[in-house]
């Protein structure tokens, strides 16, 4: 518990204890004797009544001389009306109030209310702090976490696979280390640098590495933390954040997930949000008055630059955009080297093969992969992490966990075996297709009853028409195998059909890969007011839309026909591979050479589809 909260608790407990003590003393001190009215008259005649208070139904008073038991106050029931005359006869002072009731009222009403109010405020404050609202006096304070030089140990050595981005940011480090020497020719660093790239590529890690290299305070805050339920709070926090950074200069301000704060304004009536727009306006104002020569650098990160407000991206605000993309094979190997230092790696483990099998993985994916491989090795009581553990970890990351508890009937297992072997054989008999690494009929993930894993030999950034057609043919290999062997099809190809349809539609409507429709784009991604992709928008006529649908269907059917022709020509391999797969459940090219690439097999046979 926070020390401040402990002090508040002790104050409340102490006040409550003092209240109990005072109440006990007050009751003990004001001891009241209840007497009959006849005794009251006797005491009155004896002259032992000093003063009384006449109420509607009772009489309270004080004895001149305390009773034998020490009681000095009394109360009795009011009986007769001519009481005042009798009191005057005996010269007794009387009034409606014995003494001032200010202290009594204070103790009986005000003080308990204050105690309850204090406890209520304490509980409300604790709830508000847990909800992130904070106190009313600190609602405009920035929530930025400040990491001084002892808190940032990350350097550029801890960041791999993004060498171009590191070179861009090295200028920032040089400026923060020596601003005067860096600007000797009149140059100054950009006001703002925007790190752009897919999730998990290391944007936040790069920003921390800049602060670690420059040894300066690092103000880190997420874009969503600026916006609260109160209008104007976000703008106040922006002002407070920049003020703190200027006082701590040289320093770095890092705003993560900038798209949560800087989304384009006024896109639709549903998008209007006064609090967000005020916060964004304040950020733009701070950037206009921002002087980087003071030693403060603004970094921001987003994976959706297309939805940012254009006012943020203009010259003079975020002057430079640094792409932090998915790493290539060399970058993946460098990232694996960084993360493998934390585990016990077998000497014969070839990380180049791991980098080759992980095309498309981000830095975060590779970190998870290394940890998953170490967990698998630990679970198997191995003495070190080996290549087999990495292979199994890749399968778990890509295809999901094995579901051996999912029991299939013999007919279903046979259908799945032919389906997966169809994918593998089609891929093996087409040139330029990624080679098959493993075929399995072990259920994985949510709905996969089997899978065929292909291993890319190189990173590819351009795909030709033939490459896409071959990819579609491989996707249709499973359904083609079912049609060739069983003369019927099943629902197992639903995911394949969805993917092959997407490829065909992209070829026709976006890449201009259909001769009849020509070299033009017929559809572009459509963004909703929340920035989500809700399909494509197109300005084509109904006749052209029909031609697009026919072209897509023709390409899908052509791929299906090619796959059937290949499998018909290699029917024996299909039968033998399916039988072996039913027996072993998992096959590699070493177990069944027919699924190795056609160019590597000695018994190379002509492609039936060519």
Active site residues: 420
In 441-588, where does DSSP find H-type helix? 465-475, 477-486, 494-509, 542-569, 571-584
- Which helix (H) or strand (E) covers residue 534, if one does? strand 533-537
What DSSP designation does 57 have?
S
| Residues 475, 457: Cα–Cα separation, whole Å | 19
The C-alpha angle 460, 466, 472, rounded to 5 degrees, equals 90
User: What secondary structure letter does DSSP report for 488?
Assistant: S
CA distance 203 to 195: 6
Binding residues: 197-204, 419, 423, 496
Give DSSP secondary structure letters for 446-464: TTBS-EEEE--SS--S---
Closest by alpha carbon to 427, among 257, 556, 591, 574?
Answer: 574
Count of residues for the chain? Answer: 610
Kindly list the distances between the CA atom of residue 419 and the CA atoms of 448, 480, 493, in Å, as whole numbers in the listed order. Answer: 12, 8, 8
DSSP state of 492: G
Strands 296-302 and 192-196: parallel
Known binding residues for Zn(2+): 419, 423, 496
Instruction: Give the residue numbers of the binding site for ATP.
Output: 197-204
Kindly list the distances between the CA atom of residue 354 and the CA atoms of 339, 350, 367, 438, 556, in Å, as whole numbers in the listed order: 13, 7, 12, 15, 33
DSSP character string of 311-373: HHHSTTTEEEEEE-----HHHHHHHHHHHHTTS-B-TT--HHHHHHHTTT--HHHHHHHHHHH
Beta strand segments in 181-279, E:
192-196, 218-222, 251-256
């Amino acid at each position: 518990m926070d020390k401040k909260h402990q002090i508040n608790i002790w104050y409340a407990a102490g006040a409550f204890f003092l209240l109990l003590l005072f109440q006990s003393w007050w009751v003990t001190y004001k001891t009241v004797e209840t007497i009959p009215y006849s005794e009251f008259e006797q005491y009155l005649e004896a002259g032992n009544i000093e003063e009384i208070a006449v109420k509607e139904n009772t009489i309270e008073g004080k004895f001149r001389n305390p009773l034998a038991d020490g009681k000095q106050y009394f109360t009795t029931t009011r009986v007769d009306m001519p009481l005042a005359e009798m009191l005057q006869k005996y010269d007794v002072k009387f009034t409606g109030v014995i003494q001032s009731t200010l202290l009594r009222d204070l103790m009986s009403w005000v003080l308990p209310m204050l105690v309850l109010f204090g406890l209520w405020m304490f509980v409300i404050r604790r709830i508000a702090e847990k909800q992130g609202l904070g106190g009313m006096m600190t609602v405009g304070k920035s929530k930025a976490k400040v990491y001084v030089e002892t808190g940032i140990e990350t350097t550029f050595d801890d960041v791999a696979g993004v060498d171009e981005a590191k070179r861009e940011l090295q200028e920032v480090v040089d400026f923060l280390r020596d601003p005067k020497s860096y600007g000797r020719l009149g140059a100054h660093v950009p006001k703002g640098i925007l790190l752009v790239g897919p999730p998990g590529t290391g944007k936040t890690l790069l920003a921390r590495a800049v602060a670690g290299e420059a040894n300066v305070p690092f103000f880190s805050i997420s874009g969503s933390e600026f916006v609260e339920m109160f209008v104007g709070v976000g703008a106040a926090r922006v002002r407070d954040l920049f003020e703190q950074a200027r006082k701590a200069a040289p320093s770095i301000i890092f705003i993560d997930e900038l798209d949560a704060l800087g989304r384009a304004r006024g896109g639709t009536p549903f998008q209007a949000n006064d609090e967000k727009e005020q916060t964004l306006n304040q950020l733009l104002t701070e950037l206009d008055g921002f002087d980087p020569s003071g030693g403060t650098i603004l970094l921001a990160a987003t994976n959706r630059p297309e939805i940012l407000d254009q006012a943020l991206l203009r010259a003079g605000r975020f002057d430079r955009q640094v792409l932090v993309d998915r790493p290539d094979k060399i970058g993946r190997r460098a990232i694996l080297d960084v993360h493998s230092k934390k585990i016990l790696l077998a000497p014969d483990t070839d990380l180049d093969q791991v980098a080759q099998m992980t095309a498309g993985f981000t830095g975060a994916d590779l970190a998870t992969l290394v940890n998953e491989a170490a967990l698998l090795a630990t679970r198997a009581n191995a003495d070190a992490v080996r290549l087999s553990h990495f292979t199994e970890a890749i399968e778990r990351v890509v295809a999901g966990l094995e579901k051996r508890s999912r029991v299939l009937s013999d007919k279903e297992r046979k259908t799945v075996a032919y389906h997966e072997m169809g994918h593998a054989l089609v891929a093996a008999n087409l040139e330029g297709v990624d080679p098959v690494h493993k075929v399995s009929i072990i259920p994985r993930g949510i709905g996969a009853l089997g899978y065929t894993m292909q291993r890319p030999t190189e990173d590819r950034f351009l795909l030709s028409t033939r490459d896409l057609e071959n990819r579609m043919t491989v996707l249709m290999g499973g359904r083609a195998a079912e049609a060739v062997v069983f003369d019927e099809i099943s629902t197992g190809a639903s995911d394949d059909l969805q993917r092959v349809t997407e490829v065909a539609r992209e070829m026709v409507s976006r890449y201009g890969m259909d001769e009849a429709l020509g070299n033009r784009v017929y559809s572009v991604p459509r963004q909703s007011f929340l920035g989500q992709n809700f399909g494509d928008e197109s300005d084509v006529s109904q006749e052209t839309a029909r031609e697009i649908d026919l072209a897509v269907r023709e390409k899908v059917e052509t791929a299906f026909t090619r796959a059937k022709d290949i499998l018909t020509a290699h029917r024996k391999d299909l039968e033998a591979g399916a039988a072996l797969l039913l027996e072993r459940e998992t096959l590699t090219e070493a177990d069944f050479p027919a699924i190795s690439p056609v160019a590597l097999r000695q018994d190379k046979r002509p492609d039936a589809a060519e």
